[in-house]
Structure 1
């Protein structure tokens, strides 16, 4: 497998902020345990440190990932190494207030979408405590709130930036219309959206606006919840609250399609001396729609392997081969 070193990891800049970060980021949703069948804090801490060792500087978290658990893990992992990391966290999914609109239940707590000014200031302070830091590099509105004017939300974020609590502003799960509204009030440094070989909708919708306004696109679910990490054993069961248990994309029929897809790419994988996951992450970055591929990991081995994708170079003929194989096998995935 290709392993990354700091030298092979490419860098990008988070929009107008000028903050430099790695083009591969570590996503920590699964570390929070929620919707992933539980978690192991000690293993997660080691995975974050392994990512830093491999040249991954962008660490992406959120309060909603385990109701603060993921942020606390990141804070523990970065003790003594805070300056090596570009920390992205989020606001807008809250359980301290009933304002906004109800979104889901997590561990018996009703979680609401709310991006009011007072709430954002409260959330930021809570995140700073859990992360054991006095600043957040990139602060992202996690989901949008139809009950709060964007002007109020952006005003709060710009004030936090003036205070030095946050260094850059991001949005996530946003329509082009809402992003345009944010941009009316100030610079947006990053947009975080779902993007992978089988989730390419933003190429037509959001990416052109981001390109026009120098908004860096962070692609989450680069491996489609693990679907694109390599063939999945037909006998593998997803248990507990693991969201994949009920996800139709993980059906037996789709696992067979994926098996055929990966078999077709096996010669390319061998030629490049990489894993299938690394191949898919490299594809994500080579396509040019996202500048950062966020990849989840729960253990050091996964984190190091994901980072290794930074050393995989895909020429145009390899990209064409991957796209053709995806067209044959993956076009009908649920």
Structure 2
């Protein structure tokens, strides 16, 4: 006797009415979240589109750092015995960190607290641009001086105007990899968000106290409460939505001469006066590459001449 199906998927058995109702409710919720832009794939797209938008850095005509300037903070990298590459203080965020202030600003923006990392891309964007903010009532445009307190704030708009903060490490609150003092971006400014620039040479530090802070030159960025300097750790790698990056922390690394190591050396990088969409580091890198390309034909000619003389000697 041949097999005959006694039912098919269209037969309504069990709690079929409840199943149909749940499917309809799920579909309605999905459509509603899609219209609001709350789907994970939509948030990821919004994050990528907004956080990587180019930012115009401030141009320093006098060569000094001013309050209100938009800069990127670049660690100079390691020396001969440390292969650490230069990195930029950058925001680490994912789709779960996107929200909106329904009362004041309905547009999406990043919500704190957030992590920070050392990214290798030197292109100025919302992710790595920071505004030098006064904490003592100094007006924008005034020169920032050594040992003067200031705050580092992310750009307005999607970046959320968050402040770089730190505090003493505890068993429950510390850096993920190194277990040192943690850095974070918070919504409200307080004493934990206060920083100051210190002259890089300890032997001339006292003489330079109160002098203007230069841009595009190495300085130390010290946390006012804990007295620990901003540092980049090349031996601790973070896996972020933007790739592998160095872990950043607040910790002072001293050498045998009690001087801060290059982990703590940072530069306030401003825009190139001739091209404001490009930082001075990028322009210097392009100039070096151009010089190398110009030297290549001359090197080729030298090689050809040397080979010619070697051939004559053999003959």
User: Shorter chain as normaliser: what TM range?
Assistant: under 0.3
Task: Return the index of the structure with the highest Cα Rg.
Answer: 2
Compare relative contact order (CA 8 Å, sep 6+) and give the higher one, 1 or 2.
1
> TM-score, normalization: structure 1?
0.24
Normalised to the residue count of structure 2, the TM-score between the two structures is 0.25
